[in-house]
Structure 1
């Protein structure tokens, strides 16, 4: 009983505030210099207290060295200034005694307009705690307070942190149970649009910075509500009150050009193009809700950009369960000072990528044809990545820190995305399970996910899991071992049985001629000339001698017969010009600029029939609907 009483006290914001030994005060030191001013007070420091700043943020698997943005750490103990010595790239030692509170002052430069770090200017403020809040050694499991000071009087605040004493705009003091919670609740500040809705009985807030007057916030709320209801029902069915979060905040920054998201325990930070937001003139009046049509009709047609945005919202919200609670065993306790590696990102990111668009379909925001079009894109991305033949998706997960997140010109030849191939592993597993069945009972990947939740996240279990847990659940549900499939799909590089499984579930697969870039094995950009970004392994361009960084200026064509026109040379500005000027010729000479040298590369144009791209279509609508329905 005593342990339960202690946990109840810790869950109470007032109790946590009274117990808080650590207090962060964050204000704008200079809006135009993009500087936050931070004051950290440690009520009961250790002698020679050490502090550090994380080198990475959970959910983004790359060492980013956030400490490089810290400016001028100073410290005082009472009226006495105490020395602060930097020990390594992200750790400092404060020359203090253990007999009195110590206060540290520092500034943080914040001009990274992404979801991972921090931003501050005269229009908007945003930060993750990993970029701003020093970690106090020995006290990370203690309660923390965060005090936010308004940079401008008309600004508001949005955050998933628990408020202790705040004003109507949201500025004031918040509390966190420990350092992990503090840095897992980003803060949005500014004059953003804000709206709320309930899903599963839980209050959800959606804030949008940077929207235009054409933005239809009510439609965004309606559509997001349907996604959230679908996700909550997926994990918990009709059992309200079982969700791991009691409130949720979506923070979306709309910009001219950008895309991304980062999941947190009860919030997410998102970025999208302004043009992808729903617009008032595109949204018909919502029909009156009845019991019959409240969630049964497909939403009015969505633009491609808005569909992608809703998929991002679905993806990050699904992470509330899959990676924030149900998580890799290696993430049971984060080490913010170094890489935290796991072979399971194919499951946590890949399976989430499988379900993000699937939940849009189940929420009737898209139909079966649109879902297959989105899946089609994922399939072709994987099939057009040579790295899938040399790097398993488990290895791709483990090496995300050095390969996926440090993308360069050769990345497609070295590795495969654990997002996209992981999604296809989930697809293959789901479709194979549906074929399997147990005693006339249909089994699907939905059952596996919910069984994993029950196995790892209920009772005294706090969420860490291993691949062995997935295999155990599969064995429990089906009565057989799935080790052979995991060996082939997760730990092997053979092609996935996509064609066989999709065809069995009512999907027709057409082989269309591949675009020229795919036939040549090139990834390019086109702006008055063809810039070579990546050269894919074993392709015609690699055999001809193309290299990343080349500028393809033109081509020389020799007529295929002696009776035709003589040898000609052409300037090209886009890749399609190659086919225009080549005619029937298959042997060309590419004119390339490399390091200001002009090179002539002999190039053989592959036949169109030798390379194809997949096009998925509905062949049996009943089978497709049976698969895609909840």
Structure 2
């Protein structure tokens, strides 16, 4: 999520302060971007890489050297050299944001023992105008900064350093100079050969353990995994180019599991390629999945220009490893949607302030719709599992009180409050926020079904492909209006106007009945079941604790129940497990008034609760679908025919 991701190499060549040798490098890089070298013999490729290395060694570039002698205590030693600096105050910073994230992250808190010298080794003074910046004076045209970095969280945002790996997110690791944003960056890792570490990254290999980024933005977007990882790969042809898709897998599993996993990743990649018609232009000929599946990492996925970070505690031997593949699917889809089909609100990416975007319902949400859909089409999950997941998301989104306050654009702009952001005060998330991931995925479902049922041979796939052609391939940032006008172009004014007026600029709930019926599914009502509107969890004492703020206007809300209350009984019936609680509720009918006994801060209280109809619904297949509906379903989910599930015939009319 950077400037370089959407700027052509021709544009870079015209930056007036670049020297002739940098221009030569960019010309070579442009050839690389067109993948001419992919079909060349190895000797020619080697010659080009050596030429790049020789050119850059003679160039003005910022350089970093990183060492990990004290990895056991989660420390790295970093030396940053900034040459050819103009006279006056020179500032370096730690970023407060990270490409792919939208909230603030105070990376400077893990930097200490900072020392600054000039090119001759003379110590320089610096001041701290804020917590993230070092202002340096008295230099001789070169500034060298050394510091210690502490890192002990492995995910897509932070860094973790120990004797198993150095998992580095660049903004969390390296100081940078804002005024040198366009300058190339070279980084050398003093690798732990004693730990059999290898290096995986999307950075350009210069030889040995040195790597290059053409500018700061590409550098900040290039995570690095140093570990004793396993490498797997496959090649994919796209147009006249061939790309290598790599997996750098750091896990405790077997070689056979790695083989199976890369085969499944290949299925995902090929299925997504079908949607857009071709792969993105991976500028240096390859795309890298940096996967850490270890007990001591934190679950996450983070997209980048030509790579992605995947972290999970779920081992590949686990029966739920398909969840890891869901992250693979989501992040690789971002190689098109967000990385290249990119909202203008995220450009240029700001390393000092939160990045605000009203398009995340599309960038993250439509991607979330496709992550499971692709797994289904690839045969990795069943249509039943896909529909079950849709059902859960449907009820989470469309039954949220938050829709009364925010439309999807406004919900997207709340990302800095929720996107891995931290705070210590409570937030009324239950009633005021719906994840733009989930919200957008339901909007994508609604649009896809509407296109497939209202217009012959129209699909969300082809709408995405049109956006890819108009904005992704041309490196043109889009706005919400562009999304709207492109939908008008593709599906006509009526459908586009209705979709954007009601569901994007407003927060109305779409009617999915027609669309689902066209796929031989329907929404089965649970209105005959009693509903209270609260979330319970049983603690170690088998007591039912309300774990979240109660949904606004639900029976429990109206009765005055709230988070932290402990339910003791409904009427004269008690319960000590979730199953017993659900059985008690199942024995009651909507509209009935019941006395609820509960504890609040140790004091026993009672409240009269009028039970309501359960607002949740289930997406259920018809028992006697038409051939046309089955054909529609098969095209949508890439299946031969839908499985029939027995449900009461009269409920099929709902």
TM-score of the superposed pair, with normalisation by structure 2: 0.82
Could you tell me whether the CA contact under 8 Å between 1:540 and 1:603 is conserved in 2?
no
User: What CA distance in whole angstroms lies between the structure 1 residues aligned with 2:305 and 2:113?
Assistant: 32
Tell me, yes or no, if structure 1 residue 52 matches structure 2 residue 93: yes
Cα RMSD of the aligned pairs, angstroms, is 2.7
Q: CA distance change for structure 1 residues 5 and 395 in 2, over 3 Å: closer, same or farther?
A: same
Query: Counterpart in 2 of 1:298?
Result: none
Contact 1:346 1:422 in 2 (8 A): yes
Flag the structure with more relative contact order, 1 or 2, with Cα contacts below 8 A and sequence separation at least 6. 2
Partner of 2:617: 613
Tell me which of 64, 72, 94 is aligned to 1:24: 64
Match of 1:423 among 441, 453, 459: 441
Q: CA–CA distance in 2 between the matches of 1:243 and 1:56?
A: 24
**2:556 corresponds to 1:541:** yes
Query: Can you give the 5+ residue segments of structure 2 that lack an aligned partner in the other structure?
Result: 1-9, 15-22, 31-48, 640-654
> In 1, are the aligned partners of 2:526 and 2:614 still within 8 Å (CA)?
no
SS at match of 2:430: helix
Specify which of 478, 490, 506 is matched with residue 491 of structure 2.
478
Q: Does 1:468 align with 2:505?
A: no
Name the residue aligned to 1:80. 122
Q: Is the counterpart of residue 433 in structure 1 residue 451 in structure 2?
A: yes
Tell me the SS of whatever aligns to 1:158: strand
Partner of 1:89 in structure 2?
131
Provide the rounded CA distance (Å) in 2 between the counterparts of 1:533 and 1:176.
Answer: 47
* Inter-CA distance 406–65: structure 2 relative to 1 (3 Å threshold): closer
Summarize the Cα distance change of 1:209–1:393 in structure 2 as closer, same or farther, 3 Å threshold. same
Q: Which moved more, 1:114-123 or 1:523-532?
A: 523-532
Distance 1:488 1:553, change over 3 A: closer
Partners in 1 of 2:93 and 2:528 — Cα distance?
A: 51
Match of 1:494 in 2: 508
Report the alpha carbon displacement of residue 610 of structure 1 after superposing the two structures with TM: 4.0
Q: Which residue of 2 aligns with 1:211?
A: 252
**1:364 is aligned to 2:406:** no
| CA distance in 1 between partners of 2:526 and 2:252 (Å) | 39
Name the CA distance, whole Å, in 2 between partners of 1:254 and 1:242: 28
1:427 counterpart SS class: helix
Q: Runs of 5+ in structure 1 lacking a partner?
A: 167-171, 280-302, 559-567
Q: Is the 8 A contact 2:280 2:336 kept in 1?
A: no
1:150 pairs with one of 191, 207, 212: 191
Structure 2 vs 1, CA of residues 511 and 556 (structure 1 numbering), >3 Å: closer, same or farther? closer
Give the distance between the partners of 1:369 and 1:581, measured in 2 at CA.
29
Q: Distance in 2 between matches of 1:180 and 1:260?
A: 22
Q: Is 1:523 aligned to 2:544, yes or no?
A: no
Deviation per CA, 1:449-470: give whole Å up to 9, x if none.
1211221233xx4231111221
Kept in 2, the 8 Å contact 1:210–1:274? The answer is no
1:592 aligns with 2:603: no
Residues of 2 paired with 1:333 and 1:250: CA distance? 25
Partner Cα distance (1:6, 1:221) in 2: 33
Query: Secondary structure of 1:224's match?
Result: helix
Question: What's the CA shift for 1:6?
Answer: 7.0
Q: Between Structure 1 and Structure 2, which shows a larger proportion of helix residues?
A: 2
Question: Which residue of the partner structure matches residue 202 of structure 1?
Answer: 243
Residue equivalent to 1:289: none
Aligned with residue 254 of structure 1, among 273, 283, 293: 293
Classify the secondary structure of the residue corresponding to 1:80.
Answer: coil
Whether the aligned pair in 2 keeps the contact of 1:428 and 1:496 (CA below 8 Å) is yes
Distance 1:111 1:185, change over 3 A: same
CA distance in 2, matches of 1:6, 1:250: 26
Q: Residue 144 of structure 1 contacts residue 182 of structure 1 at CA under 8 Å; is this kept in 2?
A: yes
Q: Distance in 2 between matches of 1:165 and 1:107?
A: 26
Q: CA deviation at 1:524?
A: 3.4
- Give the structure 2 partner of residue 452 of structure 1: 467
TM-score, with structure 1 as normaliser: 0.85
3-state SS in 1 of match to 2:436 = coil
* Displacement of 1:86: 1.3
In structure 2, relative to structure 1, the CA distance for the partners of 1:405 and 1:101 (3 Å cut) is closer
